[in-house]
Amino acid sequence: MKKTVAISSHNSNNNTMPSGKKRWSWLVISVLGLVLLSMLVPLAFILGLPHSIGSVTEQRSSTSRKGPAVDTSFNKGGLSSRVDGLLKNLGPTLPKDRRNSVTKAENKTTGFAAPKQMIKPPQKTHNGGSSADGPKKVEAIGESEKTCELKFGSYCLWRQQHREKMKDFIVKKMKDQLYVARAYYPSIAKLPALDHLSQEIKQNIQEFERILSESSSDTDLPPQVEKKLQKMEMTITKAKSATVDCNNVDKKLRQLVDLTEDEANFHMKQSAFLYQLAVQTTPKSLHCLSMRLTVEYFKTSPADANQSEDLLNPELHHFVMFSNNVLASSVVINSTVMNSKASGKQVFHVLTDKQSFFSMKMWFITETYKDATVQVLNIEDLNLKSHLFSHFSMPQELRFSFSSASESRTEYISVFSHLHYALPHIFPTLKKIVVLDDDIVVQRDLSALWSLDLDGKVIGASKFCAVKLAALKSYMGKENYDAESCTWMSGLNVIDLVQWRKRDVTKMYQSLVQQRPSEATTLGATMLTFQGLLVALDDTWVLSGMGHNYSITYEAIKKAAVLHFNGNMKPWLELGIPTYKVHWRKFLNKDNHFLTDCNVNP
């Protein structure tokens, strides 16, 4: 059946129409639609819809009258979202510094002066900064290293130490020109009379983007780059001389500034996360060392030579260390023995987990440390009854940040793990021991510690008055304690096991642990357990902060008996502080063939 279309007509009463007239009607409607569309498109441009340039092609985005839309898609999802989630433990994210004014420096860079009614002159604030709206404290990324350290810890110190100056002048100049060209392009593209200039700017932008994507320094740039710079400079000069809407250029310039700051913020958070990942992950070379030693142990099945009675002789000097790091524990023992006047009286007990046990055994069987005796124990083979001691645990490090009007600082506290409270059960025949962390270096003979009078107390430790107990009130619970007392550190601790057993310190600790949530267990319970049972060691015994503080003087290092690398920058990591690593590295046996095979060179 033939289908007809009903239309209204002033010249005919028929409801149908020949097919030829019908085609002409559709043609007229199509033409009218195109005419209407051609009128709407220029109208849209007149209303100020912005344009933006993509990496290869032109991209346009609509906006309302309130202002230009800012494309922040790069930090709304994907990798950025995952980084934000992983950075929750690092503290709050960096503050976003939205600029409310265009400074004179920006005007000089772009060659464009914004209308006076839109820009307020910057005013000096009480903290030396500037603000467009009065004395408002605005903190930009990288402005305060102390503030950065509070949020990202030692990463900011490391970043400051390894910051490089911009040396590639041509690359920098290209980036500046690209920045200005992008600011002018949307306004030029809206003017039909400047279509040729618009295409010229677009081509130059795409050419610069291509070059910069392949080059990061002046040596990487292609030949005749100077001609491209001159061409872009001439194009920018033409754009500046054109009559454009200054408001649109200002909006685009602000948009580019915001995007740049967002991108810098994103990369800052990503870098901080990667830094934290690096300091908490075993380096490939150390993992190789552990694997090679384990394989060698099962290949050769060496006899354990350290089964003498010296291991249980309470008259000797017994050192105890919890570690799963072969290299670190070796340096601690080697530095202690090399500075000892009577190494034959020294016995070292290295407690480790099942995974590291065989590599530790192989290392200390093949290495000798003068006349000292070294015993390696697998904590899982000791059959300790309490559930707190069922798993291997290292001494814990906790970071505390303090921010106030008078100070901004970050401190690291190292404390005992659960396993330290099993020491009287692990060594039932011993009377006195010295506990060492595996991130220390000994520079002086420690024999004097065995004649130290603890006056009936249980432990001798280095006090750390940079953090008082009042700062740890959220960890301390409802027990009574002196808020002005100093905290204390693990690293070097003298323990009287006789007094420990007499006062049943282990039971006291277990009782305090049961009253606390997991996140506050170790710190609060440890500080409360040893209240009134601690003797402060002289300040010359231990120097802390070698793993995070760049400001320690050479004189202070030289005077200390023990250097404690507490903090994230451990000396066996590439991220360690170079000026301090030399004190650790000199006690490393670099001639060991296992180190050579695994390319271990911290």
* Other Cβ atoms closer than 10 A to 504: 12
204-217, pLDDT tens digit by residue?
899 888 888 888 77
Which positions ≥6 away from 515 have C-beta within 8 Å? 477
Pinpoint the alpha helices (H) of 66-194. Answer: 79-86, 104-110, 145-152, 154-161, 169-189
Q: What's residue 78's pLDDT?
A: 47
Token couple for 68: 């230009």
- At residue 378, φ and ψ (nearest 5 deg) are -90, 115
Which positions ≥6 away from 394 have C-beta within 8 Å? 322, 323, 324, 417, 438
- What DSSP line would sit under 269-338, residue for residue? HHHHHHHHHHHHS--HHHHHHHHHHHHHHHHH-------SGGGG-TTSEEEEEE-S-HHHHHHHHHHHHH
450-470, pLDDT tens digit by residue?
999 999 999 999 999 989 988
Cα gap 23→107, rounded to integer Å: 59
140-174, pLDDT tens digit by residue?
334 456 677 777 777 787 877 777 665 677 888 88
Cα gap 190→244, rounded to integer Å: 9
Cα gap 290→362, rounded to integer Å: 10
> Of 106-110, 156-160, 548-552, where does mean pLDDT reach its minimum?
106-110
Nearest CA to 469 out of 485, 458, 453 is that of 485
Residue 299 has pLDDT above 70, yes or no: yes
Nearest CA to 491 out of 322, 298, 251 is that of 322
479-492, pLDDT tens digit by residue?
888 888 999 999 99
B/e letters for 310-331, b = 16+ CB within 10 Å, e = fewer, are bbeeeebbbbbbbbbbbbbbbb
Q: pLDDT-based confidence at 520, cuts 50/70/90?
A: low
- E strands within 54-116? 58-60
- At residue 59, φ and ψ (nearest 5 deg) are -125, 135
DSSP-assigned beta bridge partners for residue 433: 318, 495
298-317 mean pLDDT: 80
What are the C-alpha distances in Å from 93 to residues 90, 272, 490? Answer: 8, 11, 31
* Other Cβ atoms closer than 10 A to 503: 16
Cα gap 564→123, rounded to integer Å: 46
End-to-end CA distance of the chain: 89
What are the C-alpha distances in Å from 70 to residues 55, 60, 154? Answer: 16, 12, 33
Nearest CA to 548 out of 435, 335, 397, 415 is that of 397
What are the C-alpha distances in Å from 191 to residues 97, 112, 250? Answer: 33, 18, 17
CA angle 295, 319, 349 (to 5 degrees): 30
Q: How many residues does the chain have?
A: 602
Is residue 44 within 8 A of residue 60, CB to CB? The reply is no
Cα gap 586→47, rounded to integer Å: 71
Q: What's residue 575's pLDDT?
A: 87
Under CATH, which architecture does the 284-597 domain have?
A: Alpha-Beta Complex (3.90)
Domain boundaries, the chain: 51-62+73-280, 284-597
Report the percent of the chain where pLDDT is more than 90: 34
Q: What's residue 305's pLDDT?
A: 61
Which positions ≥6 away from 402 have C-beta within 8 Å? 150, 408, 409, 410, 411, 471
Q: pLDDT-based confidence at 259, cuts 50/70/90?
A: confident
Cα gap 406→481, rounded to integer Å: 26
Residue 53 has pLDDT above 90, yes or no: no
170-194 mean pLDDT: 84
10-17 mean pLDDT: 44
Q: What's residue 389's pLDDT?
A: 78
B/e letters for 98-132, b = 16+ CB within 10 Å, e = fewer, are eeebbeeebeebbebebeeeebeebeeeeeebebb
Strand (E) or helix (H) holding 585: helix 578-585
Nearest CA to 432 out of 455, 414, 459 is that of 459
Residue 101 has pLDDT above 50, yes or no: no
Q: What is the mean pLDDT of the chain?
A: 77
3-state SS track over 404-424:
CCCCEEEEEEEECCHHHHHHH
Token couple for 70: 């800012």
Cα gap 37→432, rounded to integer Å: 93
Residue 433 has pLDDT above 70, yes or no: yes
* Other Cβ atoms closer than 10 A to 411: 20
Is residue 436 within 8 A of residue 319, CB to CB? The reply is yes
Q: Whole-prediction pTM value?
A: 0.66
